[in-house]
Amino acid sequence: MNITKKLTALFLSAAICLSLAACGGSPGETEVKDSVVIAIGSEPETLDPTQGWGHGNAPIVQSTLVRYNSELIFENDLAADYTLSDDGLTWTFTIRDDVIFTDGEKLTASDVAFTLETAKAAQGSVDLTYMESAVAQDDTTVVITLSKPTSVFLNTLASVGIVPEHAYNDDYGRNPIGSGPYKFVEWRPQEQIVFTANEDYYDGAPAIKNVTVVFMSEDAALAAVQAGQVDVAYSTATLGTTEVDGYHVEAITSADNRGFTLPVLPDEGKTAESGAPIGNNVTCNIEIRQAIAYAIDRQQIADVVLNGFGRPAYSENDGMPWNNPEVMIETDVEYAKKLLADAGWVDADGDGIIEKDGLKAEINCIYPSGDSVRQAVAMAAAEQVKEIGIRIDVEGVSWDEIMQRMFSEAVMMGWGSAIPNETYYLYRSEGALLDDFYNPEGYMNDVTDGYLNAAMEALTVEGANENWRKAQWDGTTGTAMQGECPWVWIVNLDHVTYVRDGLSIGSQPVHGHGHGLPLIQNLQDWAWEK
């Protein structure tokens, strides 16, 4: 009896100990993760903002004078305040005086001036050709003089991270120091870059403490996801349909668009300087261009060609604050047919292709060979346009050949920028028929030019956006498809990303062109769910 009691007591206490131990162990298991591994397709060439690092995104390691929020509206970052002179030429920035670089040195106005002057001299990807000078007046004031009013200057500033003048040398791009939310730790070329959280970041230390960015092709990245070795992986519309346990796919809206240019000039036997013929007698008719625009079922192309990882595109900048929402059109095959019939295009000989005055509505659409997405989008669009009696022959050619043929034939192109001046280069008369691929269709319109110039020289962001929108559609004309229709926009590609369940990648702003780097621009907003 006694022994039984003792044994029971012993047994019970052992059980209690065990359960206590189990309780003691459980907090360890639910410990909050604070590191992520991100697989992206392309490795940055440098981490030096003056040579292009972070251009179009946020530089992470460095901080910028102003930055975008997730709606792409500007907010102050390093800047405490800024003013612009009435002639639009002199910007005066006052910067915060509580910011230190991760090596402990203070960030001053002279670092800002040094950064801008260095970026201008680098002849790299940062366009500061219009900047005359940047001068630090005292520790917190920097005065920047421009040669002409430039409304996109703020956009440029939002992507140029400030580098420390005292620690800048030839090796800076491989071993940067900055004042951003993350600190650079190590870069092993073609393998990985390691960042850790900057605990002294002036906006509060980020939740994710350790970040490893690895570089692998999309196929390899999918394999890494299946093996559970990465938390986030950049993927493609083709691969994104594979379901992987423990991961979900996020389709991030991008302005990475595809559409074709249609020559607006008639073929009068003229040629450009390079000898390339100019003009096309079919597409120079606005009813042809608009009929194509209205006949295309964009949603269907996004669903079929891009596996649903795409959205209909109606302009070069859908979803951006400077986009005019009125550019959207509904697919309307009957309306397209009516446009053509009203203008006198009929299928008299019954071969399924309409003609007018003996001219058949047949055009070529060329795309850079090897680009399977452009090819598929062009083929699908050509198939749809067949229904209204217009024949489009799709052909893949080299970039050299595109340059020879783009002034006289349709070209499947892709643009998409986080900076609004792209619209200016795409549609200004001065840029028509240049070799830079922006305006091969030869679009020239005084009204549009007026809005574009006003937008480029506007003194406020609102004033600029107002004019960008009017350039697209002001109620009577514009670059939109219901306007002059020099472009038929078709789809915006989504940026397909695998994300491990339980990880929040924040509210991603609309991505520009680019293979994965835009993904990490809001790294400080990422967090693991508890």
Partner 1 sequence: MKRIIRIFFTYGIKILSLLLAVSIISFVLITVSPIDPVQQYILSLGTAVSPEQRAEIENYWGVNEPPAERYFSWLSELLRGNLGESAVYRRPVADIIGERFVNSLALMLCAWVLSAIIGFGLGCFMGMHKDRLPDRVLKKICYILSSVPTFWLGLVILLVFAVGLKWFPIGFSSPIGVLGGDVTIWQKLYHLVLPSFTLSLMSFANIALHTRQKLADVLNSEYVLFAKARGEGKWTILRRHGLRNIMLPALTLQFASFAELFGGSVMAENVFSYPGLGSAVSAAGLNSDVPLLLGITLFSALFVCVGNMLANLLYGVIDPQIQEVGE
- Scanning 50-58, 277-285, 328-336, 445-453 for contacts with partner 1 by CB under 8 A, the matching segment is 50-58
Q: What is the biggest distance separating any 2 CA atoms in the chain, rounded to whole angstroms?
A: 116
Number of shown-chain residues binding partner 1 (CB under 8 A) = 62
- β 232-234/495-500 pair status: antiparallel
Q: What are phi and psi of 286, to 5 degrees?
A: -65, -30
Residue 226 binds partner 1 (CB under 8 A): yes
Q: Which of 229, 274, 300, 507 binds partner 1 (CB under 8 A)?
A: 229
Give the residue with the Cβ less far from partner 1, 97 or 430.
Answer: 430
- In angstroms, give the least distance from the CB of 95 to partner 1: 24
Shortest Å, Cβ 257 to partner 1 = 12
Residue 407's nearest CA partner among 264, 259, 257 is 264
Task: Give, rounded to a whole angstrom, the gap between the first and last alpha carbons of the chain.
Answer: 50
- Residue matched to tokens 């219009």: 130
Q: Which is nearer to partner 1, 38 or 376 (CB)?
A: 38
Q: Give the DSSP H/E element, type plus range, for residue 235.
A: none
Contact 496, 251 (CB under 8 A): yes
Question: Counting contacts by CB under 8 A, is residue 56 touching partner 1?
Answer: yes
Of 215 and 345, which CB lies nearer to partner 1 in the complex structure? 215
**Secondary structure element (H or E) that encloses residue 510, with its range:** none
Q: Residue 363: what are its φ and ψ, rounded to 5°?
A: -135, 165
Report the nearest approach of partner 1 to the CB of residue 480 (Å). 19
273 binds partner 1 (CB under 8 A): no
Q: If we measure between CA atoms, which residue out of 157, 168, 152 comes closest to residue 54? A: 157
CA torsion sign for 365, 369, 373, 379 is: positive
Nearer to partner 1, 35 or 110 (CB): 35
Site string for partner 1, 404-433 (x = CB under 8 A): ------------xxxx-xx-xxx----x--
Site membership for partner 1, residue 516 (CB under 8 A): no
76 binds partner 1 (CB under 8 A): no
Binding positions for partner 1, 325-384, rule CB under 8 A: none
Nearer to partner 1, 289 or 513 (CB): 513
Binder among 51, 375, 479, 497 for partner 1 (CB under 8 A):
51
Q: Which of 40, 49, 54, 55 binds partner 1 (CB under 8 A)?
A: 55
503 binds partner 1 per the rule CB under 8 A: no
Exposure of 314 by Cβ count < 10 A (0-12 exposed, 13-18 middle, 19+ buried)?
A: buried
Q: How far is the CB of 526 from partner 1 (least distance, A)?
A: 16
Is residue 59 a contact point for partner 1 (CB under 8 A)? no
Three-state DSSP class for residue 448:
helix
CB of 129 to partner 1, least distance (A): 4
Tell me if 281 contacts partner 1 by CB under 8 A.
no
Residue 194 or 286: which CB sits closer to partner 1? 194
Cβ-Cβ contacts under 8 Å for 438 (sequence gap 6 or more) = 425, 426, 431
Query: Which of 180/516 has CB closer to partner 1?
Result: 516
Tokens of 179: 């004042």
* Cα–Cα distance for residue pair 22/312, rounded to 1 Å: 54
Characterize the bridge pairing of strands 66-68 and 74-76.
antiparallel
- Check binding of 401 to partner 1 (CB under 8 A): yes
Residue 142 and residue 90: Cα distance in Å, rounded? 10
Site for partner 1 in 100-139 (CB under 8 A): 123-125, 127, 129-130
Subset of 180-219 contacting partner 1 (CB under 8 A): 185-186, 188-192, 194, 210, 212, 214-217, 219
Residues 6+ apart with CB under 8 A from 455: 151, 322, 420, 423, 424, 463, 464, 465, 466, 467, 468, 471
b/e code 90-120 from CB counts within 10 Å (16+ = b): ebebbbbeebebbeeeebbbbbbbbbbbbbb
The enclosing H or E element of 249 equals strand 247-252
42 binds partner 1 (CB under 8 A): yes
The site for partner 1 (CB under 8 A) is made up of 35, 37, 42, 45-46, 51-52, 55-56, 123-125, 127, 129-130, 173-174, 185-186, 188-192, 194, 210, 212, 214-217, 219-220, 223-224, 226-227, 229-230, 398-401, 403, 416-419, 421-422, 424-426, 431, 434, 436-438, 512-514, 518
